[in-house]
Amino acid sequence: GAGVSQSPSNKVTEKGKDVELRCDPISGHTALYWYRQSLGQGLEFLIYFQGNSAPDKSGLPSDRFSAERTGGSVSTLTIQRTQQEDSAVYLCASSLQQGPYNEQFFGPGTRLTVL
C-alpha cells in the first residue's frame, strides 16, 4: 500500500511569513510523529499524535510552532512568523498503534527554506 506522504516537498518562504506543512500517514496508522532535521543538528522530535490528540508536544521549539490532526489521519504542522533558523527538513512518521514496539515509517520530508 501507499506509504507516508508529505507536501509540499520543497517550500521557500520569506522571513515573517506563515507556512503549513502536510502529512498523510499510512492508512490505519493511529500514531503520528513530526521530526525536524536541521543541518548539523540531526533529527529532533517535535510532536506526537495519538488519534487526533497530541499528548506530547515537548519537542516544539517555540509557540510559533503548532500542529493539528483531523479525522485521525492528515496532520498539518504550522509555523508562524518564520525565522531563518526554522530552515530544515521536516519529517513525518506514522506507526500502526501507540506503544514502543511498533515500527515508525517515515515520509520523504518537506525541505523548508526561510530567506
Partner 1 sequence: KQEVTQIPAALSVPEGENLVLNCSFTDSAIYNLQWFRQDPGKGLTSLLLIQSSQREQTSGRLNASLDKSSGRSTLYIAASQPGDSATYLCAVRTGAGSYQLTFGKGTKLSVIP
Say which residues have a Cβ less than 8 Å from residue 50's Cβ, sequence separation at least 6.
Answer: 30, 31, 98
Question: Which single residue is written with the C-alpha cell 517550500?
Answer: 11
Q: Which of residues 49-68 bind partner 1 (CB under 8 A)?
A: 55-56, 58-59
Instruction: Check residue 104 for interaction with partner 1 (CB under 8 A).
Output: yes
Asked if 1 is part of the footprint of partner 1 (rule: CB under 8 A), the reply reads no
Q: Is 106 a residue that touches partner 1 (CB under 8 A)?
A: yes
98 makes contact with partner 1 (CB under 8 A): yes
Q: Tell me the C-alpha to C-alpha distance, in Å, between residue 82 and each of 2, 14, 96, 102, 113.
A: 31, 8, 32, 33, 10
Classify 110 as helix, strand or coil.
strand
Stretch 11-30 residues interacting with partner 1 (CB under 8 A) = none
Q: Are 31 and 50 in contact (CB under 8 A)?
A: yes
Q: Please, which residue, 18 or 85, has the CB nearer to partner 1?
A: 85
Question: With binding defined as CB under 8 A, does residue 90 bind partner 1?
Answer: no
Q: Which residues would be at the binding site for partner 1 (CB under 8 A)?
A: 4, 33, 35, 40-45, 48, 55-56, 58-59, 91, 93, 98-101, 103-109, 111
